[in-house]
């Protein structure tokens, strides 16, 4: 009976984020869908343009299942590509434009892309890529000819027959080795988008500012979530904190997502102010936001919510769902709660934290295990890398490599990456625990802790710290601060001050810090 039910054409429809644009183009046809500089695109026009671009892909030889690479900044072209490529039945490969040419060539080659759509500002890079991969790569510039083709002409919409079809390939940042192609399916993108719509109260009145790169996990699926709600996408091609604040006020922005670094830049900007009464929901992923960032953002009208996820989980798989009873807690305790990774989002399966035997750790807030995830918002696997997929998925659960504790209220709190645990004299030191102690100091903006070799203890923690602009604090002062919060053996042996190296998506590059330690301190 269940098989007949699923195969019944009137009672089962494959899930795809394309349906969000189909609906909004009908319900919010004349509402502004996209703001990109002086350009304004309604939802009716966005669907029409996306379908016409899909036809252009087909006319130039793109067939269903082909991979289409897109090399543009955060503009309407990249947003349209999130619809036009799957409308053509193809697979989207949104490229990180900050990568080196050799890295882009490696990704396009590995993904087996036969088509590259690029912004004219990357014309030189596109030519170099095409020359390297000739004759297997066709180019299309998003120039005036591109615009003319979208103002008239035939449209194309290839139906999605299988919701588990490949929708997009997203490449990991490569901080721990060669980037891997993470395979997204239509079903996962659809459901993850709905979760983001719900958790951040997106509506047709929402105005979303693109401070997060769209190439990063397809913008945490907000490329589709905002459309699902009928909200307005405000493109910000190149992030600049001052420009972002001008847009926030001018366009009456209500929502944005950001890495901690971007949030720090926004909070530190000389233009940091909202319109009277303006309130902004800000989602931050990656490292927990420091108390200074949270407090500063709150004073600016930004309500910060901490998210947790990976490229392999369509972006945020967990959210620090705020509870009303936490509002009455002291500010320090509120900051501690806000920094937790939280619970699975609306469509996630319950997060687990397991020990080395695969059993769930006690919910005591102290026993450390590894976060494992499964469900609809987990990747299909790594493209052309079954060995890596097999290593990451054990007993039907995706192993994140993140070490965490489970609190009695089912909220997860990360303590470290498996590779980042520092073993000193037989004791495990969580680098994240030490980092959290450091950023609890009001003068500290960012902190990263890595291991250095020690003849006696085996390993000892070394900290890299970046102070809040205008603040002054010395090494002894910070070490004493950590000593008041943690056991003495966890206090860093040395603290080095200065900016921290980051990836293009805002992640601190600990491997570079380890190289500094290895070359200069060991």
pLDDT exceeds 90 at position 505: no
Sequence-distant (6+) residues with CB within 8 A of 515 are none
Task: Kindly indicate the confidence band of residue 512, based on its pLDDT and cuts at 50, 70 and 90.
Answer: confident
pLDDT given at position 418:
67
Tens-place pLDDT, residues 339-384:
789 999 999 999 999 999 999 999 999 999 999 999 999 999 999 9
Q: DSSP class of residue 364?
A: S
Rounded average pLDDT over 113-126: 97
Say which residue, 111 or 99, is predicted with more confidence.
111
How far separated are the first and last CA of the chain, in Å rounded?
67
Rounded average pLDDT over 223-243: 96
Tens-place pLDDT, residues 273-289:
999 999 999 999 866 67
pLDDT exceeds 70 at position 183: yes
Question: DSSP secondary structure string, 254-304?
Answer: -EEEE-HHHHHHHHH-TT----TT--EEEEEESSPPPHHHHHHHHHTTEEE
pLDDT exceeds 60 at position 72: yes
pLDDT given at position 176:
44
At residue 490, the 3 state secondary structure works out as helix
pTM of structure: 0.84
Task: Kindly indicate the confidence band of residue 7, based on its pLDDT and cuts at 50, 70 and 90.
Answer: low
Tokens standing for 358?
């695969």
pLDDT given at position 330:
87
Task: Kindly indicate the confidence band of residue 489, based on its pLDDT and cuts at 50, 70 and 90.
Answer: confident
pLDDT given at position 175:
43
| Dist. CA 231–CA 203, nearest whole Å | 6
Tens-place pLDDT, residues 379-404:
999 999 999 999 999 999 999 988 89
Least reliable range by pLDDT among 117-126, 170-179, 306-315, 435-444: 170-179
Is residue 444 within 8 A of residue 475, CB to CB? The reply is no
Report angle CA 336, 517, 424 to the nearest 5 degrees.
60
Beta strands in 95-248 (DSSP E): 113-118, 138-141, 166-171, 181-185, 207-209, 232-234
Beta bridge partners of 398: 373, 393
Alpha-carbon torsion angle 387, 185, 146, 229, nearest 10: -140
| Dist. CA 8–CA 25, nearest whole Å | 27
Q: DSSP class of residue 350?
A: P
Alpha-carbon torsion angle 234, 238, 242, 248, nearest 10: 10
């Amino acid at each position: 009976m269940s098989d007949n039910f699923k195969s019944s054409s009137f009672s089962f429809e494959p899930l795809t984020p394309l349906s969000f644009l189909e609906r909004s183009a009908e319900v919010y046809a004349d509402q502004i869908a996209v703001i990109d500089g002086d350009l304004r695109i309604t939802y009716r026009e966005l669907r029409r343009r996306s379908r016409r671009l899909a036809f252009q892909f087909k006319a130039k030889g793109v067939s269903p299942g082909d991979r289409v690479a897109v090399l543009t900044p955060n503009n309407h072209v990249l947003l349209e590509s999130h619809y036009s490529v799957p409308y053509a039945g193809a697979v989207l490969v949104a490229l990180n434009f900050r990568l080196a040419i050799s890295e882009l060539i490696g990704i396009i080659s590995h993904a087996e892309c036969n088509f590259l759509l690029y912004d004219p500002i990357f014309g030189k890079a596109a030519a170099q890529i095409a020359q390297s991969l000739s004759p297997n790569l066709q180019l299309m510039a998003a120039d005036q000819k591109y615009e003319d083709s979208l103002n008239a002409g035939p449209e194309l919409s290839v139906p999605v027959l299988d919701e588990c079809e490949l929708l997009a390939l997203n490449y990991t940042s490569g901080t721990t080795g060669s980037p891997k192609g993470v395979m997204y399916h239509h079903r996962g993108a659809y459901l993850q988008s709905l979760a983001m719509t719900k958790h951040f109260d997106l509506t047709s009145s929402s105005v979303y500012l693109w401070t997060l790169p769209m190439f990063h996990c397809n913008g945490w699926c907000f490329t589709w979530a905002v459309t699902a709600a009928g909200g307005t996408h405000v493109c910000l091609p190149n992030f600049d904190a001052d420009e972002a604040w001008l847009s926030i006020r001018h366009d009456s922005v209500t929502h944005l997502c950001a890495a901690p670094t971007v949030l720090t830049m926004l909070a530190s900007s000389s233009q940091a102010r909202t319109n009277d009464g303006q309130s902004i929901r800000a989602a931050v992923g990656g490292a927990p936001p420091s108390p200074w960032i949270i407090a500063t953002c709150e004073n600016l009208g930004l309500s910060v919510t901490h998210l947790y996820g990976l490229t392999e989980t369509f972006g945020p798989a967990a959210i620090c769902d705020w509870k009303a009873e936490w509002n009455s807690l002291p500010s320090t305790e509120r900051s501690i709660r806000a920094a937790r990774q939280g619970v699975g989002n609306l469509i996630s399966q319950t997060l687990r934290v397991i020990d080395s035997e695969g059993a769930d750790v006690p919910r005591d807030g102290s026993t450390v295990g590894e976060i494992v995830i499964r469900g609809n918002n987990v990747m299909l696997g790594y493209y052309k890398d079954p060995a890596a997929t097999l290593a990451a998925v054990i007993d039907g659960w995706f192993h994140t490599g993140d070490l965490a504790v489970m609190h009695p209220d089912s909220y997860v709190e990360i303590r470290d990456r498996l590779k980042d645990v520092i073993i000193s004299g037989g004791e495990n030191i969580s680098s994240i625990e030490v980092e959290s102690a450091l950023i609890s100091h009001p003068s500290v903006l960012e902190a990263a802790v890595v291991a250095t070799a020690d003849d006696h203890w085996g390993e000892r923690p070394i900290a890299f710290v970046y102070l809040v602009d205008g603040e002054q604090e010395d090494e002894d002062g910070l070490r004493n601060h950590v000593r008041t919060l943690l056991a003495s053996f966890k206090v860093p042996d040395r603290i080095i001050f200065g900016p921290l190296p980051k990836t293009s998506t805002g992640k601190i590059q600990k491997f570079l810090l380890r190289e500094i330690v290895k070359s200069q301190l060991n």
